[in-house]
Amino acid sequence: MSNAVAQWDAVSVTCGADEVEIVSALLFAHACLGTEERESSDGGAELIGYFEHGCGASIVEALGSELGALAADATLQRQPSLRPLTIAAGDWSERWKEHYGATRISGRLVVCPSWESYVPEDGDIVVRIDPGMAFGAGNHPTTQMCLAALEEMLTAHRGRCSVLDVGTGSGILAIAAGLLGADRVVGVDVDPLAVSIARENVRRHSLEGVVQIRRGAALGTAGRWDIVVANLHTHVLLELAEVLTERTEPVGGRLVLSGLTGAGAAQVVPCFAALGWTLVREDRRADDTQGPDPWAMVILRR
C-alpha cells in the first residue's frame, strides 16, 4: 500500500528561543503531526509545524489569535510571526532521500547515506548514516564542521581519548568518533526516536563495544570526557554551559560547540570564558539557508 500524501500543510512560527516549548505546545494542541526547529537569523527560533492538508488556513487564524493573547498578557515577549507553507506532493518517507548523497568531509572522512552506493578510496573512513527523523545526515554545515574538528583532534590524540556527544541525533558524530579511534564514546539525546535511530546506526558500524547511545540529558550523564561535542541551538548551549563544563576533563579537555550562527558564537564564547574556557578557534561557514549570518563552530580548551 502506498503511503503517498497529496500535500502537507505547514506553519512557520518565528519566536524567542526561550518560547519554543510554549509555541510547540500550541502547535500540538492543534493536531500538529510533527515539528522542525531551526535557529533564526536574529538568534531566536523558527518552528515549523506539519499538518494534514486542508488545515493550514484555519490553524494560522487560530494560532494568530492565541499567540496574540499570550503576547498581550506578557507570557510571550513579542507577537510571533506566522507564515503558512504548503509542502509539495510526494511520498515524504522516501522523497527526502533525494536530497542526500555521499559527502567528503575531509581528506579521509566521508559521510554516506545508508541507501547510497559508494566505493571508498584508499584510506577513506566512511560513516554510513540513515538519519530517519533525527537530525544529523551530514549535509548541514554545523555537522560538517564538528566532524572535521573531531577528525583533527582524534588524529592528534591518536584516538586514545573519550568523547561525549550531547544531543546525538542520528549518532553521526558519536559514530565518527568511534571510527576515528576514540576508545570510549557516549551519545545522549532526550528524544527516544533519535536514540532508537542512533543505536541502529551504531549497530550498522559494529561499534557497540565502543559507542553507547543513552536516552537522557547531559546533566544525568556521569563522568568526564576528553572531548565534549554539542551541536545544539545557542540558547541550549548557554543553558548547559555549567553542565558541559562539569562533563569535560579539567586538564586538557576540549569543547566543540556548534549549531550556532556568528551572532550566537558571540554570546556563547564569553559565557564559557566566564567558566574558565579559552577560545582555540572559531570556524564559520555560509550556506544558502542562513542569509548574511553564517553558521559557526567554536573549539574551547580548559
pLDDT tens-place string over residues 137-186? 787 889 999 999 999 999 998 878 999 999 998 899 999 999 999 999 99
Band of the pLDDT at 36, cuts 50, 70, 90? confident
Do 219 and 269 lie in one domain? The reply is: yes
Q: Say whether pLDDT at 1 is over 90.
A: no
* Residue 96 pLDDT class (50, 70, 90 cuts): low
Whether the predicted pLDDT of 106 surpasses 70:
yes
Residue 2's pLDDT is 37
Helix, strand, coil share (%) of the chain residues, nearest 5: 35, 30, 35
70 backbone dihedrals φ, ψ, rounded to 5°: -70, -35
**Structural domain that includes position 179:** 100-301
Q: Give the model's pLDDT for residue 289.
A: 53
Does 160 lie in the same domain as 22? no
Which of 56, 46, 54, 55 lies closest to 84 in space, CA to CA?
56
Stretch 263-270: mean pLDDT, rounded? 95
CB 130 within 8 A of CB 114: yes
Q: In this structure, are 81 and 20 located in the same domain?
A: yes
pLDDT at 8 over 80: no
If one compares 42 and 231, the residue with the highest pLDDT of the two is: 231
CATH of the domain at 205: 3.40.50.150
Confidence category of residue 290, pLDDT binned at 50, 70, 90: low
Whether residue 3 is predicted with pLDDT greater than 50 in this model: the reply is no
Is residue 156 one of the residues assigned to a domain?
yes
- Residue-level pLDDT at 10: 84
Mean pLDDT of the chain: 85
**Residue 60 — pLDDT band, cuts 50, 70, 90?**
confident
User: Edge-to-edge, what's the strand order for the sheet holding 162-166?
Assistant: 211-215, 184-189, 162-166, 227-231, 254-261, 295-301, 278-285
* 18 & 119 share domain: no
% of the chain beyond a pLDDT of 90: 45
Residue, of 292 and 239, whose pLDDT is higher = 239
* pLDDT for position 59: 83
What is the count of structural domains for the chain?
Answer: 2
Give the pLDDT confidence score for residue 94 in this predicted structure. Answer: 55
Q: Which H or E run includes 44?
A: none
- Co-location of 84 and 210 in the same domain: no
CATH classification of the domain holding 89: 3.30.70.240
Asked if the model's pLDDT at residue 104 lies above 80, the reply is yes
Dihedral sign of CA atoms 248, 19, 55, 99 in order: negative
Residues 78 and 109 in one domain: no
